[in-house]
Amino acid sequence: MKKAHIATYLANILDHFDTSLYGFLVPILAPLFFPKSEPIVALLLGYGFVIIGFITRPLGAWYFSKHADAAGPHATLIITIMGMTITTFCFTLLQPYEYWGVGGAIGLCLLRGIQNFFGAGEASITGLYVLEGTHTDQQHPITSLYLSSTMAGILLACTASSILFYCEAPQLYWKWPFYGSIITGIAGWWLRHQVAPTFVKNESTQGKTNWRGIIRLIPITGFSYILYSAPFVFFNSFAALVTRVGMKNLMLSNTLLMIFDLGLLALLGPIMRKMDAKKLLLKISVISAITVPILFWYIPSVELLGTVVIRMVIITLGVAFCIPLHRWYIEEFPAYNRYATTAIGYAIGSETLGRSFPVVGLALWHITHLSIAPGVYVALISLCAYFSIALPKVLKIGYK
């Protein structure tokens, strides 16, 4: 199983390099594909393509999770990474507004939708796949390694994007990271083919879809994704608007903070080895509801160092919440429909609440002109996550 884990981690690094590029490149892509819009509107439109994911990610999660429950996660992950690679190649064929007019934006939207379809299966299956057959004491450290591989892929994408921001004319080179992601996608596909699948089909997998569990997961998975997108995606555009810190410095600090995230994952995974997953999730939800609005309220009055400290606090909360989440999935949902329940719940939650946060957060600030407004939104989602975790036991609602 160690060989399977290593291959999965490496493939996961390469896959998340592919999936993360678009979010980091939006500040460059927005003026190219929406040149007639105001800068803030262009950013909203660029990030707004997450709307297509509201449809395609749940569809992808439903399709690939059913495939994983029936044919095994290994076979499913080979399909998803190949689909991601082909979609990434198609990004390199796009041309901005200057050449294709609105056709460029339409193509960008369609490709994001297809990428979300394959990405939904990838993101929601891999985390459970690496925990199969592992002892409880090893689940938090293994989850930390898996999350570290995810962050390593995002770090590579952030680094490649940061290099573009230091070019004199980044709009001329925006396709180069996508060319690189084609190579990484093929490498990830090859790595997964080196591991022989061990899945044995079980007829009991033909169970009913756990809709109550899926609904319950929406605020939980949405909140976990917000704790990633807030410091690493949303903050770059937001801080550039409300502070005097330039985009180049924000992107550079973004890269350094991802290294901090990797170190934190390596540190907290073993420390949390014997801690109760549910109690950890509840505590982090409450702490986040209190601290995040305060942090956002301070953003306009800080310089570069202050933005780094604020993001470090949010990153720490995100790491502490995400590490026990996969063990909680295993404890909470039965094996015969676990992939389907968690995949669909994650897809809906990450899209409707998580991936949409850059758009929602910028819109809230644009409407209210209050920096605390996005933080209040995060606090509300964290409280919803808390009650989704805590109330079923109090109300004696069964999900197994």
- pLDDT tens per residue across span 197-218: 655 455 444 557 788 889 999 9
The pTM of this model reads 0.77
pLDDT over 80 at 125, yes or no: no
Which residue type is seen at 84?
M
Looking at the chain, the whole-number percentage of residues with pLDDT higher than 70 is 92
The CATH number for 2-197+210-394, chosen from 2.60.40.420, 1.20.1250.20, 3.40.50.2000, 3.40.630.30, is 1.20.1250.20
Summarised one tens digit per residue, pLDDT across range 248-303 is: 788 788 888 988 998 898 888 888 888 899 999 999 999 999 999 999 999 999 99
- Which 3-state string (H, E, C) describes the chain? CHHHHHHHHHHHHHHHHHHHHHHHHHHHHHHHHCCCCCHHHHHHHHHCCHHHHHHHHHHHHHHHHHHHHHHCHHHHHHHHHHHHHHHHHHHCCCCCHHHHCHHHHHHHHHHHHHHHHHHHHHHHHHHHHCCCCCCHHHHHHHHHHHHHHHHHHHHHHHHHHHHHHCCCCHHHCCCHHHHHHHHHHHHHHHHHHCCCCCCCCCHHHCCCCCHHHHHHHHHHHHHHHHHHHHHHHHHHHHHHHHCCCCHHHHHHHHHHHHHHHHHHHHHHHHHCCCCCHHHHHHHHHHHHHHHHHHHHHHHHHCCHHHHHHHHHHHHHHHHHHHCCHHHHHHHHCCHHHHHHHHHHHHHHHHHHHHHCHHHHHHHHHHHHCCCHHHHHHHHHHHHHHHHHHHHHHHCCCCCC
Average per-residue pLDDT in the chain? 83
pLDDT at 151 over 80: yes
Instruction: Please compute the mean of the pLDDT values over residues 229-247 and round it to a whole number.
Output: 88
Structure tokens at 371: 């920096």
Q: Where are the domains of the chain?
A: 2-197+210-394
Residue 12, judged by CB atoms within 10 A of its CB (0-12, 13-18, 19+), counts as: buried
The confidence score (pLDDT) of residue 319 equals 93
Q: Which tens digit of pLDDT belongs to each residue from 327-384? A: 898 888 887 778 888 888 888 888 788 878 988 999 999 899 999 999 999 999 999 9
Q: For 29-87, what is each residue's pLDDT tens digit?
A: 888 888 888 877 887 788 777 677 778 888 888 888 888 877 777 788 888 888 888 88
Higher pLDDT, 6 or 68: 68
d(CA 393, CA 66): 28
